[in-house]
Copies of this chain bind each other. A is one copy, B any other.
Amino acid sequence: MRPTDLDRVRGLHLFGQAAPETFRVATAGAHLQRFPANTTLLFEGDTVDFLYMLLEGQVELHGTWNDHETVMAILRPVSSFLLAAVVLDADALMSARTLERCEILMIPGDAIRTAMQLDARFAMAVSRDLAGGYRGLVRTIKNHKLRSGVERLANHLLALRSADNAGSTVRLHYEKRILASLLGMTPENLSRAFAALQAHGVTVEGALVHITNIAALEALAKPDPLIDNHAPRGGDILIDADAEIWSSEWNRKARR
């Protein structure tokens, strides 16, 4: 592993407060691995032997039941995933696959659990990460149970605008069929939802979405700090303030 990569890992909030010895123990058995696009890293039900740290690229977490599939989350650098399974030494509840070429640091689960026993501050950092993830999922459930598809899309656009501190134009970070599944609808329905938002100040041009009337969109979306995380803090999985948002392959492609 290159020193540069080690530095990037050292800077993660998960290790920020940990003792140097803890960091050494955890990263001793770790290895950096590159995966091509559309590669399944892990199927749901598989035993989880590693904590995954996404350093480059995008990863999709999804779940399956009865021949149907739903996207649970899209991860972007730098985020960890499968931490809950690692802490409990349990099977994965979601499958993970790369959406593009990825660099992923794989840390043995044993090392994580050992480090937690040795270093209370590291164990607290793990707790904070899990607590942030927990709260992110609570927000997701409220989003799905309390809002319609159009409302979820409207809020997603506002969240994108806020996270990318962009102007009146935001860029979708992944394909619309994936966004549709993440938002809990079909691709056809997402298309109609975009059409419905035209009356509320939104025009679509491929992966570019122009918000021509923010007030109108917010009037429809009614964003709520108890559901939408528009001021990302450390710890949450879905949104990471440190992420280099224009770095992904797909966005380079989609840029015009």
Q: Which A residues form the contact surface with B (CB < 8 A)?
A: 44-45, 63-66, 68, 70, 72, 83-85, 87-88, 90-91, 93-94, 113, 116-121, 123-124, 126-128, 130-135, 137-142, 144-147, 184, 222, 224-227, 235
Contacts and interface: CB of A to CB of B under 8 A. Distances in A.
A141 B139 CA distance: 11
Given A117-B120, A123-B126, A133-B134, 15 more contacts: A45-B226, A66-B146, A66-B147, A66-B222, A84-B135, A85-B131, A87-B131, A88-B128, A88-B131, A88-B132, A94-B138, A130-B130, A134-B137, A141-B144, A145-B184
A224 B65 contact: yes
**How many subunits of this chain does the assembly comprise?**
2
B119 A65 contact: no
A169 to B, nearest CB: 27
A124 B116 CA distance: 7
A98 B205 CA distance: 50
A112 to B, nearest CB: 10
Of the listed residues A70, A91, A130, A147, the one surrounded by the most CB atoms of chain B closer than 10 A to its CB is: A130
Contacts of A91: 226
A142 B227 CA distance: 19
Contacts of A120: 116-120, 123
B84 A139 contact: no
